[in-house]
């Protein structure tokens, strides 16, 4: 489920709170895998709170929850009160890396002191954590973050509609390069792509909605 505060489009747009949606679906299913595509744990959310939320869902629905993360979109963060100029990619990427490190430390179940550039913890601990923590899927639209997904992600997420060359010639090779640099097997990293659809009981309206 997408974690947008504001949808990409106003007319016909939807932006449910992803964590409530995941919990509701988790209660009504037995095998379905639940995750975000994607959530930004760096601005309107504190990464420690996201770590707690996903640890809880991981305990409720063992083996069925993953956290998909990205560097963020201005339309979500500015609408919810972000002050100042929207950060450049360098800072947003640094925040993402730091937040993933912080969350994984909390998922170990120990008491954590964390002194990052953007986030701090003092004696923090999550008491209910699923064994093995929560898989983290990294969303990337370019090779820099794709390499990071290869280095540090349990999975890699990209979106459709960008042209085959981007995936085949840039993103997938970058994931592989990052994995190899970290001594990992790239085949162990899950790959996920969003496929956009337009649904309406009237096929003509569904087609019109794609334009």
pTM for this structure? 0.93
Rounded Cα–Cα distance for residues 88 and 74 (Å): 11
Instruction: Say whether pLDDT at 19 is over 90.
Output: yes
Higher pLDDT, 118 or 9: 118
All domains of the chain in start order, with CATH:
18-208 (3.20.20.30)
What confidence tier does 204 reach under pLDDT thresholds 50, 70, 90? very high
pLDDT surpassing 90 at residue 210: no
The percent of residues in the chain predicted with pLDDT above 90, rounded, is: 82
| pLDDT for residue 50 | 99
Residue 12 predicted with pLDDT over 80:
no
Contact 61, 132 (CB under 8 A): no
Range 132-135, long-range pairs (CB < 8 A, 24+ positions): 133/55, 133/58, 133/104, 133/107, 133/108, 134/51, 134/54, 134/55, 134/58, 134/65, 134/66, 134/67, 134/103, 134/107, 135/65, 135/66, 135/67, 135/190
pLDDT digits (tens, 9 = 90+) for 68-107: 999 999 989 999 999 899 999 999 999 999 999 999 999 9
* Residues designated as active site: 4, 73
């Amino acid at each position: 489920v997408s974690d947008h505060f504001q949808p990409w489009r106003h007319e016909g747009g939807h932006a449910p709170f992803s964590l409530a949606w995941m919990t509701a679906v988790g209660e009504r299913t037995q095998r379905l895998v639940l995750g975000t595509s994607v959530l930004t744990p760096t601005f309107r959310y504190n990464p420690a709170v996201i770590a707690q939320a996903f640890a809880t869902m991981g305990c409720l629905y063992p083996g069925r929850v993953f956290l998909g993360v990205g560097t963020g979109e201005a339309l979500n963060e500015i609408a919810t009160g972000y002050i100042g100029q929207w950060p450049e990619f360098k800072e947003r990427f640094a925040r993402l890396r730091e937040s993933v490190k912080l969350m994984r430390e909390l998922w170990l179940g120990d008491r954590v002191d964390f002194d990052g550039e953007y986030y701090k913890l003092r004696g923090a601990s999550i008491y209910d954590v699923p064994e093995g923590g929560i898989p983290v899927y990294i969303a990337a639209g370019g090779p820099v973050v794709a390499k990071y997904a290869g280095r540090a992600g349990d999975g890699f997420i990209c979106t459709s509609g960008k042209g085959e060359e981007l995936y085949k010639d840039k993103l997938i090779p970058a994931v592989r390069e990052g994995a190899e640099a970290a001594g990992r097997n790239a085949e162990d990293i899950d790959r996920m792509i969003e496929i956009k659809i337009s649904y309406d009981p009237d096929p003509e309206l569904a087609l019109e909605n794609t334009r």
